Structure 1
Amino acid sequence: MTDNSLIISSEWLVANTANPQVVIIDCRFSLADPELGEKQYQESHIPGAFYLDLNRDIASAVGAHGGRHPLPNIEELADKLSAIGINSAETLVVAYDDSRLAFASRLWWLLRYMGHSKVALLDGGFSAWKATGYPVTNTLSEPREGKLVVKLQPDMAVDIEAVKERKDLPNTVLVDSRESERYEGLREPIDPIAGHIPGAVNYPWQAVTDETRKVRSTSEQKQRWAEVETAEEIIVYCGSGVTACVNLLSLEIAGIPDAKLYVGSWSDWCSYQL
């Protein structure tokens, strides 16, 4: 383990790939090429890992509102997770991707939202695993019997009405997780409107990791959030509720729990302005 229980090293994982109490999930994905992640998994992945797709498994179909990556059907996801051997309160889920935790963090947040707190992320992702020379395989993992019982934590998520109601309160901080150019409205490659929610402050999600894509230390995470740590409420958003989860992870590492995800994020907010 690293200096916190939310992030694990390749060294720890390689010693635990056969541990029946550990389930590894590959979350690799590309917004530019939605089929790429699963192709990469089929070609090469950590032995024993299962694959979950951002669009098919950890998000649901896009509607007029609700953002580009609405939450999945929770019971359906629970069934999928049970079928790969996850047991409530017992199984440690280890998620990884190759995008600085962008997609693995979404699964980390979802599992906690569903009441399963035993989940960690692989530091440095698949690239770090390969760089160590640890084994990879193209053998698809066999289903395993498990039972994940959902104990939903509804206070972890907010919708647009809650954001409108609370964003200007003196003890609420609204965090925009996108890169600064998108926050400032200088560039918008995905959504139809540029800019940010009025009153939001900008903490780009990429800063949670360093140049090597490893998660920065606990002390660095604490320093990063020093200006907002006394807030009574922190609401975090991004473009579609995915990369915001990297900031939620950072806040958790920094010892600032209970921050909330605006699930629809900017893609939901700006849909009401069209």
Structure 2
Amino acid sequence: MSQSPIGIFDSGVGGISIWKEINQLLPNESTIYLADSKNAPYGTKSTDEILALCIENTELLLAKGSKLIVVACNTATTNAIQVLRENYPVKFIGIEPAIKPAALNTKTKKVGILATEGTLSSQLFQNTSKLYASGITVIEQIGEGLVTLIEAGRTNSKETRKLLAEYVEPMIKANIDALVLGCTHYPFLIPTLKTLLPSTVQIIDSGFAVAKQTKSILETEGLGDFDSSAGSHQFFTNADVEVLSSFVPQANTEISFLDF
């Protein structure tokens, strides 16, 4: 099993931000990535719809021999990962907004979170906020429209910048000193966000923490691939291959359309 790939899925290209962190930390590991762009965004769907999509993605990754599955989507994690863990024999690694480090390190006691509706309304997110953000003012903002723009390859468009400016303005006025990115698509917006936010605002995402957890689970379970050569990577999308290709490094990668 050690030479089997790590399976990763997301509601599109957003999870590539997680894949990059995993690949950087674990360059020997091979991966299979599913970009469910046809059904993006997950954040506007019902819990039942999200769960059905996550089950389909999981079973496809298992059929392709994945030894571990990273749910590289905040909305999927907060709405479905518990059910996945209860029903499948592999280890699952999820991702949720990094409220804890933001709350522990804020000096103004005010942090912002930009996320999807599906993440912000989930019970898991609410529980995490109550646990770690007591006494902290958390300014929540649904990033409506951002995932759709990123999936269309318009990360650096004027429309994207306009939306971001609108979303972060109340946070700036409230004197936040940390902005938590609660969607794996949003790290691709960091260059634009840095031009909109004061330099005193720290932008926090969960990518590196997920990569470290992946490494830890592989070591604990004896599933790590310690081959000296670089891993190989398969990327599948059920939408535009060209858009996915624009987010993926070309070395040791195979990018294909798959109707799932």
Give TM-score scaled by structure 2 length.
0.33
Structure possessing the higher relative contact order (Cα contacts under 8 Å, 6 or more residues apart) = 2
Task: Report which of the two has the higher share of strand.
Answer: 2
Give TM-score scaled by structure 1 length.
0.32
Task: Report which of the two has the higher share of helix.
Answer: 2
